[in-house]
Chains A and B, each alone.
Chain A
């Protein structure tokens, strides 16, 4: 990453390029231009031309103008994109030119026995003036941050000749520490999303930016005259000081103007809870690493919410075992529906969301915080937890969930204070949000004002109210009463439909800006590439209404930082900030003052009769509140626990499912992984209805129905539109996260869901070994009970068939199952690094997903059918499924030394490298699929159709030039990121030195926030991987097959509370 020193100049380059408002891309491959990038470069020019032409004309003529323009091929392509993009479908294309060419190629090959015809004429398009510090063919890394809710994840973005291609975590950034999550990994795909809005429009007509500026200034004059009485700004949560400053500036300029905020997936509980406990809004930061005992009150803090990546790192650092004598932290989770946090828990108690508050009260009571509440049924549990917490005063931690109410948060604060955790494992800071407000109140006011016709001009960005606002607000009708709505968003979405102006918003990889992380750390967002289209940042739009419009983000940002850091050499500070990705020690300092809160002050808790169903709304684990709906990687990412893709479903517990007869069944297509028929249910709730597919979810609290948010969008784009059902449709302001009084009615209809892993038990096979810390201490070798690992010599193929010199590196991987909670970061990282295509729901239903690394989910303690137990079908009820112990196992290619796939390939397309890699040679593969049949781990993936999108220029920019883009009929699989190995090896060889341990980091390893995956040289006894493999927990999947995988696993160890066992 030494290239980062050059970055500053490079930014200037970007800056200037940006000023010139055009785009420069060089080669995807060494010096040679990939022909298709030219048109894109032209796009930008076309837009300029279009703008020019349009400006020359008056409003009435626009459509005619468009028709005139339509002859221009680039422009037509710009406007129309019919071909399948992220999700190619099987039948929608007939014999087109490409197919015809394929046939030609076939005949040619027959004729010439060559396998390829004459090479196409390729051009080399060098720079005119090459940016300094750019070495062709070498990627550069730039530090930036991805703003997300009340957090910003620090990133290092890999850039190939100006194309951001891969996201890595920034080790110097407190919210990342080098790790990332699935959202961050997938954000680069959003940048290249072909469905992004590409220009400014007014009621759908194209407008130039300057035209918008003019109208904005005109509006501004009017607003000024009324002191901004009718001027409103609606945003999501904002942690960017720059943006906030801009808004505050406007509010100062127009005193009567108002700023509203609406974040649909996060409750006000956190803020209000802090208010209850501390008297004002405060931000809570956890020091998970310092906690020995953690209790989560319906909090998925390891997967979502501010600081989740950081917390994951810290949490799992406390679960690394070096030997039987090492210790672990302990996690209790109380939650209504299984999350990755719950799946990691040593003790998990399924409770209805509304009962979580009762639990908190009862616990508080037990800990002597007043309020003699109790929770029938869970007393023992509570007693044990209370005891454990007491035992670890000052080293315990209670975390309240983002969707829980103020009371729970307040109680959590109180308990932490009472346990002396404040200041140790948890502390408060000034709010990270630029202006913390009660979002529900805020949007309620806005709606009232709109209804009363008080709103004249409304700017909306960072949130999508038409889609996400509570349906009782009927935002859609009210917004029509606003004269002038300006919508700033990356896509022409639901809200844009109802707005007069739509400003295409730049992606965070295209703009200058700043953002605060969960602990207040300030970072600069620096662009990796000039805007691909005529897009602008929200700040520019706001500025347009201010008294100094047209100030570029770059200047505004620098001015702000200058002002904030007067004195010191600014340029030096600027360079350092950009280089590190953080403004040095800008984290907020803890605020003094413990929680002043007693459970007695609480009003009596409202309880729901047990027979009533409880409906809860949760952000979807893959596409969150819907903002990632058009991201193919995330859509096709199996949701951690359900393993569903491309859809959401109404999740019900095994018992409820049995009661309402909601069992689903595997279809003959794909079956156990693929198509599942699930019954369709009518959900009627808060005088509204929605139809959803039901899904039985073991471990869900009985009587709870989860309605995941984020699906059923109508204007998401090609990928995300009309997928799943829209849970917002039955969500009202009075019951934002927990609703009752609704009904769930089974219909006769069936709906096909795509599920990548249906069967959940291991059929008594040696696949995932797990135990408790006690067992481990008693018998460190527990992972090898009834092991059947045959002797190395047992093989038809003599050792000399695959000799691995002890002095040369032997690449290997160790995956610590104690550290994996199935968060999926590795899956997306792999997809991004290795140009893995998205295949679409239909293909997944046929069992053809392409992920090179999959995460298997198993429920243990459920005897398999062969031992007279459960069939492994989650919709068949068994008491074991009320609260099963859940484990996750990432399965990449096992890189067997004695690989079954290699012996059967007729053309030698998969063979061993000298370093023990199981090489897959795409250009040699003819596609017999024999290797896949013979792979016991089923990690091989086949391009049954042309899954790759060869047309869309944006995706050509996205691809990693270091990895071959596979075409139809070719087998592929995990390569241990051989491209990274090769590049490091080449550098090492040039310096005539050995490769250092940790110098090669695979994509999955670097993404993993839990540091569960470790890659290295197993011939080097001091390498991290050798040390892990030396542990007794180390075992191989299905060792008896004697395939001798290089990928081995460390048995999962949980740390349950012995007291609890007794209880």
Chain B
């Protein structure tokens, strides 16, 4: 058995083969100092001095730590990324956007108790729930608050026959074909996706609207099914018996199986 020392100064012409009693050698090699002493050539032993240290001692610990650091940073990075794309900052959840008119669902739905369908007329029949034309606003506001300043845009729109430009709150990607009517007709209530609108002074997106979130329901619709009468009930919450109730409702609405509901073409065209 032989070894080659890595720390012999140039003056000795580089590396030498050392053949000695392994036991001694091993001891000797434990610390560089003595390792440097044991230099053998042709059976003769020469002494020499150590070469200067290149790195400070701390380099060793630095090296060891760096290994740990890489692992930690990697985990941290991934957590940030995967957490980040799910966070409201990314999904715009809870984000309140500036609207031309400070329209309060809380007031109209919560306080006045106006039914969703009064404004969102096509929710039961069409893919889109429908944003009310100005005329709908004027039905009431031609008499109520018909001269308050913050409704000026409504009156202007009506008189000048130019649309109010609302800012979209619930935005699905263009390749997602969501259909309100089928959900509403099959026992999914407004608040399941839109949250408790009756408690929102200003509208915001209550859920992530990410595919995963859609699939949570499409893979297990029972958890969110309600009776017809509760569809437009903003305060509905799944009861403790939702599990079996959901099954009954699923049968009653004859909801398609998971395989059907999770076929790509169910939502993508």
Contacts and interface: CB of A to CB of B under 8 A. Distances in A.
Q: Do the two chains touch directly in the complex (Cβ atoms below 8 Å apart)?
A: yes
Interface of A: 29-33, 112-114, 116, 118-119, 121-130, 135-138, 808, 911-915, 917, 919, 921-924, 962-965, 975, 978-979, 981-982, 986, 989-990, 992
B174 A127 contact: no
A978 B92 contact: no
Contact of B177 (A112, A125, A962): A962
A982 B171 contact: no
Contact of B128 (A31, A113, A129, A981): A31
B171 A921 contact: no
A917 B171 CA distance: 28
B84 interface: yes
Nearest to B85: A114
A989 B130 CA distance: 21
Contacts of A919: 263-265, 268
Interface in B117-134: 122, 125-134
B134 A129 contact: yes
A923 B268 contact: yes
Interface stretch (B14-22, B62-70, B154-162, B216-224): B154-162
B48 to A, nearest CB: 54
Q: What 10 A-B pairs have minimum CB-CB distances, sorted nearest first?
A: A30-B128, A913-B263, A137-B128, A137-B126, A127-B133, A137-B127, A919-B264, A122-B168, A126-B131, A130-B133
A834 to B, nearest CB: 9
A511 B242 CA distance: 57
Nearest to B182: A986
A10 to B, nearest CB: 15
Looking at chain B, what size class is its interface with the partner chain?
35 or more
B55 interface: no
A989 B263 CA distance: 16
Nearest to A803: B259
A915 B167 CA distance: 38
B186 interface: yes
B269 interface: yes
B166 to A, nearest CB: 4
A742 B143 CA distance: 83
B126 A975 contact: no
A795 B264 CA distance: 24
B262 to A, nearest CB: 8
B264 A119 contact: no
B134 A126 contact: yes
Interface string B112-154: 0000000000100111111111110000000000000000000
A964 B259 contact: no
Contacts of A128: 133-135, 157-158, 161-163
Contacts of B268: 919, 921-923, 964
Instruction: State the main secondary structure of chain A at its contact with B.
Output: loop
B1 interface: no
Contacts of A114: 85, 90
A992 B182 CA distance: 11
A123 B169 CA distance: 9
Nearest to B97: A121
Contacts of B81: 112-113
25 contacts: A30-B178, A31-B128, A31-B131, A113-B81, A118-B92, A122-B168, A123-B167, A124-B167, A125-B166, A127-B134, A127-B163, A136-B122, A137-B126, A137-B128, A138-B125, A138-B126, A911-B264, A917-B263, A917-B265, A919-B263, A919-B264, A962-B177, A975-B269, A989-B256, A990-B182
A118 B85 CA distance: 10
Interface hub of A126, A136, A990 (most chain B Cβ within 10 A):
A126
Contacts of A964: 174-175, 268-269
B191 interface: no
Contacts of A119: 92, 171, 173
Classify the secondary structure of B's interface with A: loop
Contacts of A112: 81, 84-85, 90
A1062 to B, nearest CB: 55
A1031 B72 CA distance: 67
Contacts of A126: 131-134, 163-164, 166
B269 A979 contact: yes
Interface string B194-207: 00000000000000
Given A31-B130, A914-B259, A982-B266, A130 B173 contact: no
Contacts of B259: 914
A922 B131 contact: no
A359 B129 CA distance: 67
A992 B264 contact: no
A921 B264 CA distance: 7
Contacts of B269: 962-964, 975, 978-979, 982
A124 B168 contact: yes
A986 B179 contact: yes
A113 B82 contact: yes
A118 B205 CA distance: 14
Contacts of A912: 263
A923 B164 CA distance: 32
Contacts of B44: none
B88 to A, nearest CB: 12
B154 to A, nearest CB: 10
A221 B81 CA distance: 79
Contacts of A924: 264
B168 A32 contact: yes
Nearest to B257: A914
A386 to B, nearest CB: 56
A124 B260 contact: no
A17 to B, nearest CB: 11
Nearest to B253: A992
Contact of A923 (B82, B92, B126, B175): B175
Contacts of A917: 263, 265
A808 B257 CA distance: 11
B185 interface: yes
Contacts of B79: none
B175 A922 contact: yes
A924 B176 CA distance: 12
Nearest to B178: A30
Interface in B37-58: none
B223 to A, nearest CB: 20
A116 B176 CA distance: 14
B254 interface: yes
A914 B257 CA distance: 9
Specify which of A113, A982, A992 lies most central, judged by the most chain B CB atoms within 10 Å of its CB. Answer: A982
Nearest to B160: A128
Contacts of B177: 962, 979, 982
B165 interface: yes
B181 interface: yes
Contact of A135 (B125, B179, B260): B125
Contacts of B132: 126
Contacts of B90: 112, 114, 118
Contacts of A30: 126-128, 178
Contacts of B185: 989-990
Given A130-B135, A914-B263, A962-B177, A992 B122 contact: no
B92 A136 contact: no
Contacts of B181: 986, 990
A962 B122 CA distance: 17
- In the complex, which of the residues A137, A922, A981 has the most CB atoms of chain B within 10 Å of its own CB atom? A137
Nearest to B78: A113
A122 B171 contact: yes
